[in-house]
Structure 1
């Protein structure tokens, strides 16, 4: 059979923070749509949040409705970065909701169908009073069946060379809707390319703010790789790097990225700000593909792209971002 070809983006409409999973031979994708990103959910979707896509080959996608029954509007109008886990016959949709970039909380919703509707479980995963800004929840199941949740939250300290800003943590799920409350730091920003904004007013102070977000964990060769996006999502500094650990709870190290993100980075004049990835297995089960969003050169929309992920002796690398025809 001749190889199929595709050209990025693989879906023409706005579809940021793409998370792809496979269930019973069908690929599903869920992401942040334009209304969710702009805080206009009530105007655009009324009762349902987060666009869903469906595919049989990873490259041809169709819109399949919206996933989440909107929870209490008082929680906010910005809904970001959903991901889905399947456990014991139930689909769990993890997401954040809040008001612009000031207060965001992590929540989970459930459904018996991959396309929903998903019903919110009724309580936050992390206490909003103890953690005012938590985003980008990413569930991961280890080989022994135990589930964990990786996510991003804000830090203000700058000891031992770390930078103030948003960074990554992990906690164990004692059930699919409850965390153990024993979060550990996964990675903190340490590099200039991870800067989000200098002199940013935050929490009553002014900070040189750095950002690590969009965690995605994959176990390979007995090690845990936590992919993440660093920098500012609206600029060409944004890209995908990773940390590696011997244990799922860490410690993780991303040493070696001083020159910039090692997995995906902007290609001036062609692709801007590739990031917030998930990982999907090819239809034949033989290859890993990194699924991410990227801006067009006019920065009109973030759209879903895929590219082959290579596991090299130096760590994971990607042949992308690509914008010309590729073989699947």
Structure 2
């Protein structure tokens, strides 16, 4: 594989010395403890991770240990703290047919036992072969079967390199062993008998997918088989991971694309495994890589592996921070593909029935049911994250919230729509379950959004019921539209990472260059997005009046992106282009240059600039609408083509300087006033014409005002919206 795998574009210039100093000064401890990468001590390679009885185990090849004769295992209960369990299998001492060149173990649990498959040098034939040993615990002791399980002859000589075993047990109980590669670059599959140490009479099959070199690993998700494998040369930076899919565990395969490849800092990622946390749509990829272009220093890393809404695998951005702790019994997380502020269709699992308001009613208290998908607004819901991490679902047709009648916690309580009142009855915890479905739990209860009797009939009632894990409580979320709320507060997350667009140290200085950093929830990572009269957007740093800007309005690739005082020119205007998969590209006005992360790195503190649109993940951003701090009008309005908030106040709380963003829902006169806590008029800010959907900003300098809580009153075309301004000095 050529070095083109490194990056779609050349390594570009370093930031200036001043900026580098600023970045160094702004380095912080990550807000959440993570595993870090690498995760194992020493030089390890070819890792397979498994989850047995609440504990994670990694079985690697230990580089340079007794000429490859000894195999170690590592264990962890939380994915972050790993213990070397010592030598769990030793060639020569525990085998009679092989003494060295042991690598790439694969372990599977069945029949109350643990089966340890491994590659080793067959002394009798002078070729690599695959053996199997059996133990009663995940770390042995293992008793070898006494002879090779697989050899070139037992593979009908499809491959002479009988290496890299991987065992998969399908839902029907049939076990398969996949292996082979390198020089011959062929993948072979054989069926195993239920005893897991002998082969069926079925002939070996060549099922080699596109671009295959070695190290197969199979997972099954939502009825689809994903064959992932290494490509390139294991000893240089061409090494990478790709995948293909099928409706059968033995192919034929449809090529899917790249999963992992070298970047500007980390090289040769490959020979991996993929582990699903039981019951959740939560996957981890464990792989080896090296940082100095020397394969002899291979180390093991772990990162999240994410499936896109269409079932494809999202390319993994290698990280230095790894993953968050994940203990046995943990609740399933929210899928990173769920976009806050997105308009969704919710489909009951295994049916064509969607979450629907009866007869498209706009009346508070109207019943919610399931109904055949007909594409109407009564079956579309705006899903928005709240300050407490729960979600609110607003019906597009009515602006009414998904609500449990009388805030009941009883099983069988009816689910309806009701006026958005910010109560717990309208708040839902959403967990990403196996197969890409969601479970919605009523806040503070164990009651799940449920179709009565798991009916598949149109009109079946939707209720809450005790969480019991069945399909009646599983929902698929399909993104129908990604509206941008003018005046909304957004978090911008780089695709494939947890890194957000950020102002270093939350600076308010004009000219501060932007970077990416781990999401920590502060205002340095929050942006107010405002639709301007020309159809482009302005991104204003929430904590300042500084706008996202290309320095000097440059049209050059690599030009610095910074914050700067709002001056209304094209350097501060951006086009937002939703791509239909939950991500957007953000394009500088008057150019085809995109907001871009340097070299597509995932490292906290990596610079963000503009670059030629090349379609890769470095230029893809998820725009999540964050909790609003002002306004009482629902985000989803009746029959509105675009969801808008009529009044937005930022920053809030403020030390004095504040901006009011007014976006009328109807054309007419706009009046904006500020009152103190006793209801006295303090400032009349505006009395002007307003156009529906058109945002206007009104600045206020309140530095001389008394600290306290003020009420903001917006009157627009006969509609009144109230907000709150908090001043602190």
Provide TM-score, normalisation by structure 1. 0.79
How far has the Cα of 1:39 moved from its partner?
Answer: 2.7
SS in 1 for 2:319: coil
Q: Deviations over 1:138-194 (max 9, x none)?
A: 00011111111111147xxxxxxxxx722212111123011225222222555xxxx
Is residue 188 of structure 2 the alignment partner of residue 187 of structure 1? Answer: no
1:309 to 291, 305, 308: 305
**Structure 1 residues 189 and 98: CA distance shift in structure 2, 3 A:** farther
Is residue 95 of structure 2 the alignment partner of residue 97 of structure 1? Answer: no
How far has the Cα of 1:237 moved from its partner?
Answer: 0.8
Instruction: Find the counterpart in structure 2 of residue 177 from structure 1.
Output: 197
How far has the Cα of 1:3 moved from its partner?
Answer: 4.5
SS in 1 for 2:187: strand
More displaced stretch, 118-127 vs 49-58? 118-127
Q: Deviations over 1:80-121 (max 9, x none)?
A: 100101001110001110179x71001100001111111111
Given that 1:271 and 1:323 are in contact with CA atoms closer than 8 Å, whether structure 2 keeps it comes out as no
Whole-Å separation in 2 of the counterparts to 1:325 and 1:153: 29
Given that 1:18 and 1:304 are in contact with CA atoms closer than 8 Å, whether structure 2 keeps it comes out as yes
Is residue 58 of structure 2 the alignment partner of residue 29 of structure 1? Answer: yes
More displaced stretch, 127-136 vs 216-225? 127-136
**Structure 1 residues 5 and 177: CA distance shift in structure 2, 3 A:** same
Is residue 282 of structure 2 the alignment partner of residue 287 of structure 1? Answer: yes
SS in 2 for 1:150: strand
SS in 1 for 2:238: coil
Instruction: Find the counterpart in structure 2 of residue 60 from structure 1.
Output: 81
Whole-Å separation in 1 of the counterparts to 2:223 and 2:147: 35
Instruction: Find the counterpart in structure 1 of residue 167 from structure 2.
Output: 139
Q: Deviations over 1:273-328 (max 9, x none)?
A: 00111112358945101111111225241111111111112611243222246546
Instruction: Find the counterpart in structure 2 of residue 233 from structure 1.
Output: 234
1:274 to 240, 257, 269: 269
How far has the Cα of 1:253 moved from its partner?
Answer: 2.6
**Structure 1 residues 321 and 252: CA distance shift in structure 2, 3 A:** same
Whole-Å separation in 2 of the counterparts to 1:140 and 1:274: 23
1:167 to 186, 207, 222: 186
Instruction: Find the counterpart in structure 2 of residue 157 from structure 1.
Output: none
Q: Deviations over 1:47-69 (max 9, x none)?
A: xx211101011122110111114
Whole-Å separation in 2 of the counterparts to 1:167 and 1:242: 15
Whole-Å separation in 1 of the counterparts to 2:142 and 2:323: 35
**Structure 1 residues 87 and 282: CA distance shift in structure 2, 3 A:** closer
Instruction: Find the counterpart in structure 1 of residue 364 from structure 2.
Output: none
Whole-Å separation in 1 of the counterparts to 2:97 and 2:282: 43
Instruction: Find the counterpart in structure 1 of residue 526 from structure 2.
Output: none
Given that 2:97 and 2:148 are in contact with CA atoms closer than 8 Å, whether structure 1 keeps it comes out as no
SS in 2 for 1:219: strand
More displaced stretch, 74-83 vs 275-284? 275-284
Q: Deviations over 1:203-244 (max 9, x none)?
A: xxxxxxxx6111110001211001100110111111000111
Whole-Å separation in 2 of the counterparts to 1:234 and 1:99: 23
**Structure 1 residues 8 and 74: CA distance shift in structure 2, 3 A:** same
Instruction: Find the counterpart in structure 2 of residue 125 from structure 1.
Output: 149
Q: Which of the two has higher C-alpha Rg?
A: 2
Instruction: Find the counterpart in structure 2 of residue 197 from structure 1.
Output: none
Whole-Å separation in 2 of the counterparts to 1:149 and 1:285: 25
Given that 1:103 and 1:133 are in contact with CA atoms closer than 8 Å, whether structure 2 keeps it comes out as yes
Instruction: Find the counterpart in structure 2 of residue 214 from structure 1.
Output: 215
How far has the Cα of 1:33 moved from its partner?
Answer: 0.4
Decide which structure has greater strand share: 1
Whole-Å separation in 2 of the counterparts to 1:298 and 1:244: 31
Given that 1:90 and 1:110 are in contact with CA atoms closer than 8 Å, whether structure 2 keeps it comes out as yes
Whole-Å separation in 2 of the counterparts to 1:296 and 1:109: 34
SS in 1 for 2:64: helix
Q: Deviations over 1:4-63 (max 9, x none)?
A: 423211113111111111111111111100235x7353xxxxxxx211101011122110
- The 5 Å alignment of 1:41-52 reads 41=69, 49-52=70-73
**Structure 1 residues 307 and 173: CA distance shift in structure 2, 3 A:** same
Is residue 254 of structure 2 the alignment partner of residue 253 of structure 1? Answer: yes
Provide TM-score, normalisation by structure 2. 0.37
More displaced stretch, 229-238 vs 71-80? 71-80
Q: Is there any run of 5+ residues in structure 2 with no aligned partner, and where?
A: 1-30, 326-729
Q: Tell me the C-alpha RMSD between the 2 structures.
A: 2.5
**Structure 1 residues 153 and 266: CA distance shift in structure 2, 3 A:** closer
**Structure 1 residues 99 and 112: CA distance shift in structure 2, 3 A:** closer
Given that 2:267 and 2:290 are in contact with CA atoms closer than 8 Å, whether structure 1 keeps it comes out as yes
**Structure 1 residues 325 and 170: CA distance shift in structure 2, 3 A:** closer
How far has the Cα of 1:126 moved from its partner?
Answer: 2.0
